[in-house]
Amino acid sequence: MFESLQRLFRHKPRTEIVWIDRDGEFSRSPGQAVYPSLPGHAFDLDGDLVLNGSDVRRLRRNLRVRGHLILQDCAQLQELPEGLLVGGDLILRNCPRVRALPPTLQVYGSVFLHTCPALERLCGGARVGRDLLVANCPALVAMEEGFLSSG
């Protein structure tokens, strides 16, 4: 199921420091867009992407994070992008505006959802390679048919 992910993530990630604006655009320094959005094109980020207390509203479409994606205390984050691919774990903690996981989500590791009060559903089509752990997400009422967790 995850053979293509294994090929994509088999090399050791490097550390790269990037800035991300509120609309999910990446740059090497504040205000300098060096990674412009191209519709339909993926953006690969080696290593982990950690946003802690960020005011980001969204991440760019087709984002590929080769390590872990950790989104913690992101009060303005409204959604995870279509085409999101994570080579490690996805941790979504205390993100009060996120309502659903996108149907195109692919996570090679585990998904941890904690204190996301608006999270209502896990969309069918999403793939999780390991475990799915959910805590303190009181609005979560539906795991749509087709949501797959191998853990």
CA angle 2, 84, 73 (to 5 degrees): 120
Q: Assess whether pLDDT exceeds 70 at residue 4.
A: no
Residue among 121, 124, 101 nearest 111 (CA): 101
Q: What is the pLDDT of residues 11-64, one digit of tens each?
A: 444 445 555 666 666 555 554 444 444 444 456 777 888 888 888 888 888 889
Residue among 22, 48, 23, 20 nearest 34 (CA): 20
**Top mean-pLDDT range of 53-62, 72-81, 137-146:** 72-81
Residue located via tokens 């009422």: 141
Q: What is the pLDDT of residues 78-109, one digit of tens each?
A: 999 999 999 999 999 999 999 999 999 999 99
Q: In the structure, what pLDDT confidence band is assigned to residue 3 with cuts at 50, 70 and 90? A: very low
Q: Assess whether pLDDT exceeds 60 at residue 113.
A: yes
The pTM of the full predicted model, rounded to 2 decimals, is 0.77
Number of residues in the chain: 151
